Amino acid sequence: MKTVILGDSGLLGQALVQHFCRDAKAEVFGISTSPKALPSSGAQLKARYVHIRLDVLTQQKAIKNLLLSEKPDLVINSIALADIGDCEACPELAEVYNVQLPVFLSDISAASGAYFIQISSDQVFDGMKLGLLREGDAINPVNLYGATKVACERKILETNPNALLARTNIVGYRGWEKSHTFVEWLENALAHRKEADLFDDYVTSSIHVRLFAEALSLAFKKRLKGVYHIASRDAVSKYEFALSISRRLGWDSTRCRKISMANSSLFPRRPAYLALDVKKFERATGASLPPIAKTVECLVDDFNARHGR
């Protein structure tokens, strides 16, 4: 099996490389601007892994030639301008990264005969429905990041109906010094006895990035097409999530300060309730997606591995 991963140095990209390189007979090509891209977990890779340093915006001809010549079985795009604030500050760049680039990659993947997976987001919803959100529920993004994800979904489905659009909310360790994930920010605060302000009315179905990579692999095997929610099968607030992690790791959970997003001046606006219904994926694959408790367990394992416990 031959896989191409766009954005192999990022949070999801590292997990995808680690997952698809488990098979010694596989070939994995990773593309990013990073001079090197190996999983920060230090996992051993069994497959042939080739990292190619390319700028996805200025060297698209090289990417096109690679896909058409290598004819991969699977292409996954994990590149995005995912910071909600950055999208509002640079709307043109958000359009390029979150709409134009994915559509280009989807079209070239289809031309090469590859199955294409594009990562979407729970931010396509407005967060007003206090219940599980299904794939067919009305979409109404409240920020520009969500709006670009909606546009991306629609355009890819128009030109590549066999593609998978995976809505999710991933968490994990990325290992970048200058840009921390939510979990890395939380560790930096609580493990060093600082206080962490956490919303108790911002609810998500966050899933550990490795669990998400495993689910994408299953989606590929089943050749799912269209929009699917791939996340934890339950949902908790960011405050509850942080409490679960801190208690498992012996951090001082009293330093988790409960605050309300509804009363905050946070900009850009975030949708408050994003509990994703994953039954469509479970029915299509015959597999059960894990609860959030499993994601917490994976994060605890990550922390212990990073600190030699």
pLDDT of residue 191: 81
> Cα Rg for the chain, rounded, in angstroms?
19
pLDDT of residue 51: 94
219 or 307: whose pLDDT is higher?
219
The residue-averaged pLDDT of 62-71 equals 97
Per-residue pLDDT tens over the stretch 163-179: 999 999 999 998 887 78
Closest CA to 75 of 23, 5, 8, 162: 5
Q: At 69, is the pLDDT very low, low, confident or very high (cuts 50, 70, 90)?
A: very high
Domains of the chain in start order, with CATH, are 2-170+207-231 (3.40.50.720)
Per-residue pLDDT tens over the stretch 86-132: 999 999 999 999 999 999 999 999 999 999 999 999 999 999 999 99
Closest CA to 52 of 43, 41, 65: 65
Total Cβ atoms within 10 A of residue 185:
11
Q: How far apart are CA 86 and CA 189, in angstroms?
A: 23
The residue-averaged pLDDT of 240-251 equals 95
pLDDT of residue 35: 84
250 in Cβ contact with 304 (< 8 Å): no
Position 75 pLDDT exceeds 80:
yes
pLDDT of residue 37: 61
Q: How many CA atoms lie within 13 A of 212 on its CB side?
A: 33
Position 13 pLDDT exceeds 90:
yes
The residue-averaged pLDDT of 258-280 equals 94
Q: At 141, is the pLDDT very low, low, confident or very high (cuts 50, 70, 90)?
A: very high
> How distant, in Å, are the alpha carbons of 119, 209, 299 from that of 190?
30, 22, 14
Cut 0.85: pTM above it = yes
pLDDT of residue 101: 98
Position 41 pLDDT exceeds 60:
no
Position 40 pLDDT exceeds 60:
no
Position 204 pLDDT exceeds 70:
yes
